[in-house]
Structures are given as structure tokens and as C-alpha cells.
Chains A and B, each alone.
Chain A
Amino acid sequence: MSIDWNAYSSDGFYDELVAAPERGHAALAGLMADLEALGPDELVARQAAADVSIKEMGITFTVYSEEGGTIDRTWPFDIIPRMIPQAEWERVDAGLRQRVAALNLFIDDLYHEQRIIKDGVFPAEVLEKSVNFRPQCVGVDPPLGIWAHICGSDLVRDSDGTIYVLEDNLRVPSGVSYMLENRLVTKRVLPELFEHYAPLPVDDYPSQLFDTLAALSPRPADYPAVAVLTPGIYNSAYFEHSYLAQQMGCELVEGRDLFVDTDDCVYMRTVDGLARVDVIYRRIDDLFLDPEAFLPDSALGVPGIMRAWKAGNVALANAPGAGVADDKVVYAFVPDIIRYYLDADPIIPNVPTYRCMDPEALAYTLANMEEMVVKPANESGGYGMLVGPASTKAERDAFALLIKKDPRNYIAQPALRLSTVPTIIGSRLEPRHVDLRPFILSSDRQQVTMGGLTRVAMRKGSLVVNSSQGGGSKDTWIVPDPVSADD
């Protein structure tokens, strides 16, 4: 048996690989031919080798089991890479820089003069109802004026090939460790393809992250004391927290390892005594960060850490309150935000978004639920949303009640026809829907990952790519454009 691309049907969806001839990129057409040459048996064998590697490397994520305990699951991974030509990526890269720069200006403005509200571009009532706006942060000047140092934006491609931003994650976006590990696994199992197509490297992310964090240090030093703050071993992203700390060569701390002294500086409790900490990459949500400032019974946080941050004695990344800009209602305003602060048109478009707070949009949403995806403003991980085309009448009716009860909390978007990538299912290649999460780092300079984490919905027809909902992932290859040959 061999791979027959004629039998591979992406059903009218845009397939990232099979659409290659139209896109005229040699690498994409080349990869199709190479996969065909390897043949299904060999691909299945390589996939099995990848699964073994992942187990051996201990790449896991934690899921909550029904019995109330937690289990480490190995990370589901498909070896067929998702390719993006470099020229196309460069435009996306520029669009992401533009977007995050504008978002950082927006957050800083919201916590200071709120010019954007006074100028009538952003409605005050959206801010009033935002659950991620932190009054505790008003007037604070974080180092370099940056609030969202690490941003993970989700990109999707519709059936006409257009890439959209689906959402921005400005609180504690995760997934970057899997992007790095996927690359290692691919190098092991598809060395010949890797060598041939020479995808641009992603491996410098940990040092870029360290540089990003180090630039925020209140004390000038070559190697400021940077720590990764984790909620602990039972958090679903604990693997990533420990991985990044290890890769950056800094301490992985829990709240009880830290201590704020009367000098408003943060210290780690070490065997050698107290050691000052300059920068904290915190992977704990705002509300759990400091029981003095937020939830008083949080045992995960560090009492007084907000005091230390406001005094400028420690940098927190991302800054508390940065989440105000990843609210899904705020999302709808991002194109306006970009125009307002940067006086430029957005390079990457938003998915058309209906804000249910607007009566017309609400009516439209309720009338067209079958073709729409309706999301609550502040949930992540694919929880609490309605995917219209995959829903039953009863589900839609129940959801309509929820929306009517609290329209401010919902947005609706047309159900996108997400692009597909060939994926090994059994012993054949079948199209599966994907998205892409690149990571954007901002401090003294901006850096964007080369590609990002491609997440794939492993179930046929499914559009839900979240790992907590049975999604998998792929390596993402940004392939150099061919040097024009003289033939």
C-alpha cells in the first residue's frame, strides 16, 4: 500500500499541505512527495518511535481524573510536520509584534490616564465589567512600561487561506515547552526530512525568555536572580514550569519558598539563608498571587508580593492585571486598539466578532447559533463554549438562556472552517483541523517564536484542539524560501 494523495480529501477545508501546488512553494510539494516515498508502513513505524521517545523523555501533562486525583498523561504528538513558508511567516511575525505592542500600550493606558476611553474608542462599561481589571494595579509603572511580557496568541486559518487571530492569552499562556520538545522528537524520528528542508530553529526560546526576564531586573546584574513561580505539582502545566526553570537555569519556586521582608524585597528561603529574588516569572493567576491584595485565603501566593512589585523591588512577568486585555470582549476591540495607539491598520485580522452586549449583535447571535461559536469572556481551555455546528437543539436552547442572562459575558464568531494538516490515523493520512499558538516576548525588545505550537484536533471533524479536550500537537516548520535557482 502507498500513500495516495488523490484519495486524501480535505472536504473543502484549506489543507496546509495539499494546497501546496496552488501556493507554489517547492518545500510543500516536496514534502508530499517525500511522505509518499516513505510510505505508510514506514510512517507508522516512525510514529511508534516518536511515541516511545515521548514516554522516555517524560513529556507529560496533568489531567484531572474522575476519581478526583490527577494523572500524568503522555503528550499526544503526530509526526507529520506542519509547514509554513518563511515569507508568509514573516508577515505573521510582523502582525504579532504590532498586536502585542498595541496591547501593552492599551494595558498601560487603562491603568493610568485611560485616554482611549476619554477619546471614545473603548467603552467605559466594558472596562467596568471586566473581571480581569485589577484596581490594585492602577497607577503602577512596571519596568519599561511593559505588562504582557509573554503572550501566546492563537491563530487559525479559514477555508480561503486567510490567517486570523482567534484570541490572545496574556495571563499565563502555556504550551511553549511542548513546542520545544516536539522539535527534539521530530529531529530524532524524521532526520532525513529535517536535514532536507532545514526548518528554522526554535531552540533559543529559553535563552530569549531569560533575556526578556533579566531585562526587567530592578538590580542591574549580568545574571539577576530569576525564579519561576508555580502553583505546584498538581497544576496541569507543572511539566512546563519545571522544564522552563531547568532550561533557563533558575529556581522553580512555590509560594511558600518566597518571603517578603519589611524592606519590601522578595527573598527565597534557601539552605544558605534568605536570597533576594529580582524577577519572578509567575505561572499563578493574579487572584492567587498575594493574599494581602487579592484572595485572602490563597495558600499558593506570597503575602506582600504586590507591595514589593509596586515598590519596584521585584519584577513580575506577566504583570498583575495584564489579563484585562485578553478578555474575549476586549478582543473584539483589538483592531481599533491597534489603530488608536499605532495609527496603523492591523496586519493580521481578527475573526469577525459579535459582542452580545450590543442588542443587534445579540439578536443576530441568537438567530444564527447553529453557524456560530459562542464563547464566555473569561474562560480558557475550551471550557464553557458552544460550537454551533456540532451542537444539538437542546444545547443551543440552554446556551441561549445563559447568553440572555449575561450578554456582556459572551461573544459570538462565525464557525470558522479551520484548516487541516495530514495526520497519521491508524495506517493512513487523514486531514485533521489545526490552530497555531506562537509566543511573543516583550521587554527591552520583542521576539517571536519561529512558528509556535501547532495543536491538532485528533478526532475526525472536531475543531477543539485543547489538550485538556483530547487534542494533540505537531511540530511547526517555518521553511526558508527557495533561493532562486538558475534553471
Chain B
Amino acid sequence: MLSRVAENIYWMARYIERAENTARIVTVNANLLLDLPKGIAPGWRPLVDITGANTLFEEHYKDYGERQVVRFLIGDERNHGSILSALVAARENCRTIRDFVPREAWELLNEIYLFAREDLAKGVTKGGRHAYLKRVIQGAQNLTGMLSGTMLHDQGYDFVHLGRFLERADMTTRIIDVRSANLLPEDTPDLRPFETIQWVSVLKSMTAYQAYRRSEQVRVLRGPVLRFLFQNDAFPRSVHHCFESLRTSLSKLPRNESALRVAGRLKRNLEGTEPRRLNQQQLHAFIDDLQVGIGELHVEIARTWFPPPLESQTQSQTSD
């Protein structure tokens, strides 16, 4: 398989996953805000914090109001992480590899993209938002299922997995990072019930609430929730599950030594830590570490299997 094709497949999967995750965090934030008392509600800014695009946001918007943040995350094409941008990018990547993905998958991706663009005006309203985001999430899930059910499970599919699980691991850690911080002042016993609501919202943004209840069988508390989201290997959005899936796909590819080395280090770091024992600051540092590792893994995948970036190619052309 050509390196360029592998790269396009990988990014297609990453962007589909990104669109889905972004839709999830917006949905859940909306629900969370309805449950929290006005005075302590964190508003919409944390969503932009999750995506790390604050500088870009502040260039174009005056404040972190609901309308602004939702538009920025759903339909602003200047934001490369917005749902619409992610779908545009997924589609562009898919266009050049139409021989490798089943025709129906290309058509479905096209459909989701067209829907996201045409219904954007409805999607950014309070009333239309829920249905819009639900359809994006379902579309992405359909696509995942269709690829799993119809695409050749060869090297190309390994790159679908790499893209999907790397993006998902990244997003899960970001969500935990932002959502576990800044919500409530520490040691405020009368706000206990709201702490539960906060953690329920974290779980729900990953469709993890039911799975958590079934698997942990304790009420929703910071410690068990962290352990579940980081270390449960049966839940498909947990960091551990993502890392395991990455290792499985990596181990099937040729010349995988250095990528496996990075993945192994990531896994040891995750398994050797008990997140429940970390205070907020330590947790933040731990997540930072994981994210650096995820970034390194991407660099290693690109270095091993993808074509050299265009810039360096042109540079070598002109220096000749």
C-alpha cells in the first residue's frame, strides 16, 4: 500500500472521530448547564479549552457566550477542529482513496457532510442543536460500523484504527482534563450533589454512564470515574482500550519497532499510575504527559509509514 494512501486513510478516520467527539462535548455541556445552579455554572468556555483553540477563538469572538462557542465548535471553518471543518477534511481525504473504502462508506460520509453544511443554521440554534448533533454522532458511528463490516481488513484498515484510536485517546484525556478541573471550588460539602452531576456529565459525554454503572457498581464518584475512563479495558472509549487497540494495529504493520516502543511507554505510564490518588494538579500533569506521548506516537507513525511532508520535499528540491 502506498504511503500516501495510508496517510489519507489515517486522517480520514481521525477527522471522523474528531467530528463525533466534538458533537459529544457540545451536547453534554448543554445538558450539564441545565442541571447546575446559575452561580457556579462554568459556562461554555471549557469547551474551547478542551480543543485548545483559545487563541484562535479570541481573535474572532468577543466573549465565550453560548452562541459564539457553539458556532465556533460546530460550523466555523476557520477552526480546523470544528465539526464542519473535520467533515470537510475527512471527505477530502476520502476522495483520493475511493478505491480503498467501500462505495457506500464514501456516499455516507458525503451525506453527513452535506447534512452538516446544509442544516448548519438549525444546528446552532438552541432548539435545533440536539437533533443536529445527534445525527452527526450517529452518522460517524454508522460509518465506523460500515467500515468494520465491509472494508477489507488489511493494512488499510489498520490505519483506520490507528487514526480513530489515537484521536479518541487524545480527546478522552482532554475531556477529563478540562471537566475534572475548574468546576467546583474544593471542599465545599454543600455542593456535593453537584459534584455528582459534574462527573455524570463527564461520563455522558462519552456515552459511558450506563457502562460505568454496570461495570463499577458504585455511585458516581471522582475516583472510580477516573479509574474507569483511564483504565477500564472493556469500555471502548477508555484511554486503556484506545492504547490497546493502537498496539494491536501497530503490531500488524511492517517496520513497527519504534512506533511500538512509544506505544509501550505510553501503556506503562498509564498502568503504573493510580489516577484516583492524584490531586487536581497532579492529575493535570499526568494528562499532560499522556498527551505528549500521544503526540510522539503520531510523529512516529508519520515518520515510519507516511510520505515526507511536502515542505521538506520542496526544500530538498530547491537546495539541489
Contact with A along B295-320 (1 / 0, CB 8 A): 00000000001010010011011101
262-297 of chain A: CB within 8 A of chain B: 268-273, 291-292, 296
List A contacts of B313 (CB < 8 A).
Answer: 256
Please, which residue of chain B has its CB at the minimum distance from the CB of A272? B254
B1 touching A271, Cβ below 8 Å: yes
Interface residues on A, range: 20 to 34
232-278 of chain A: CB within 8 A of chain B: 232-233, 242, 246, 251-254, 256-257, 268-273
List A contacts of B317 (CB < 8 A).
Answer: 291-292, 296, 303
A257 touching B314, Cβ below 8 Å: no
A273 touching B255, Cβ below 8 Å: yes
B155 touching A257, Cβ below 8 Å: no
List B contacts of A269 (CB < 8 A).
Answer: 2-4, 307
Min C-beta distance of A340 to chain B, whole Å: 42
Min C-beta distance of A260 to chain B, whole Å: 11
A299 touching B310, Cβ below 8 Å: yes
List A contacts of B2 (CB < 8 A).
Answer: 251, 253, 257, 268-271
Min C-beta distance of A293 to chain B, whole Å: 12
List B contacts of A272 (CB < 8 A).
Answer: 1, 254-255
List A contacts of B254 (CB < 8 A).
Answer: 271-273
List B contacts of A58 (CB < 8 A).
Answer: 103
B4 touching A254, Cβ below 8 Å: yes
Q: Which listed residue, A254, A270, A303, touches B1 by the CB 8 Å rule?
A: A270
List A contacts of B67 (CB < 8 A).
Answer: none
Min C-beta distance of B189 to chain A, whole Å: 57
CA distance A199 to B98 in the complex (A): 33
CA distance A296 to B155 in the complex (A): 35
Given the known interface contacts A254-B4, A256-B4, the answer about A271 and B95 at a Cβ–Cβ threshold of 8 Å is no
List B contacts of A254 (CB < 8 A).
Answer: 4
B3 touching A271, Cβ below 8 Å: yes
Given the known interface contacts A233-B96, A246-B99, the answer about A292 and B3 at a Cβ–Cβ threshold of 8 Å is no
Q: How many A-B residue pairs have CB under 8 A?
A: 51
Interface centre among B103, B155, B307, B320 (most CB of A within 10 A): B307
User: B253: CB under 8 A from chain A?
Assistant: yes
Given the known interface contacts A233-B96, A271-B1, the answer about A303 and B320 at a Cβ–Cβ threshold of 8 Å is yes
A271 touching B4, Cβ below 8 Å: no
CA distance A272 to B317 in the complex (A): 25
CA distance A322 to B318 in the complex (A): 28
User: B26: CB under 8 A from chain A?
Assistant: no
List B contacts of A291 (CB < 8 A).
Answer: 317
Number of interface residues of B (CB under 8 A): 23
CA distance A246 to B103 in the complex (A): 15
Given the known interface contacts A256-B313, A257-B307, A299-B310, the answer about A270 and B99 at a Cβ–Cβ threshold of 8 Å is no
B255 touching A233, Cβ below 8 Å: no
User: B229: CB under 8 A from chain A?
Assistant: no
A271 touching B253, Cβ below 8 Å: yes
Given the known interface contacts A253-B2, A299-B310, the answer about A292 and B320 at a Cβ–Cβ threshold of 8 Å is yes
User: B6: CB under 8 A from chain A?
Assistant: yes
Given the known interface contacts A269-B307, A271-B254, the answer about A242 and B95 at a Cβ–Cβ threshold of 8 Å is no
Min C-beta distance of B38 to chain A, whole Å: 46
Min C-beta distance of A463 to chain B, whole Å: 35
Interface centre among A253, A256, A299, A303 (most CB of B within 10 A): A256
Min C-beta distance of A330 to chain B, whole Å: 33
List B contacts of A296 (CB < 8 A).
Answer: 317-318
Please, which residue of chain B has its CB at the minimum distance from the CB of A238? B96
List B contacts of A246 (CB < 8 A).
Answer: 99
CA distance A271 to B10 in the complex (A): 12
A242 touching B99, Cβ below 8 Å: yes
A257 touching B99, Cβ below 8 Å: no
List B contacts of A303 (CB < 8 A).
Answer: 316-317, 320
List A contacts of B253 (CB < 8 A).
Answer: 271
Please, which residue of chain B has its CB at the minimum distance from the CB of A243? B99
Please, which residue of chain A has its CB at the minimum distance from the CB of B3? A269
List B contacts of A232 (CB < 8 A).
Answer: 96
98-136 of chain B: CB within 8 A of chain A: 98-99, 103
CA distance A256 to B203 in the complex (A): 44
CA distance A306 to B263 in the complex (A): 41
CA distance A256 to B308 in the complex (A): 9
CA distance A269 to B313 in the complex (A): 13
Binding site for A on B (CB under 8 A): 1-4, 6, 95-96, 98-99, 103, 155, 253-255, 305, 307, 310, 313-314, 316-318, 320
4 nearest A-B residue pairs (beta carbon): A269-B3, A271-B1, A272-B254, A271-B6
Beyond A271-B155, A292-B320, list 5 extra A-B contacts (CB 8 Å).
Answer: A246-B99, A257-B2, A272-B255, A292-B317, A303-B316
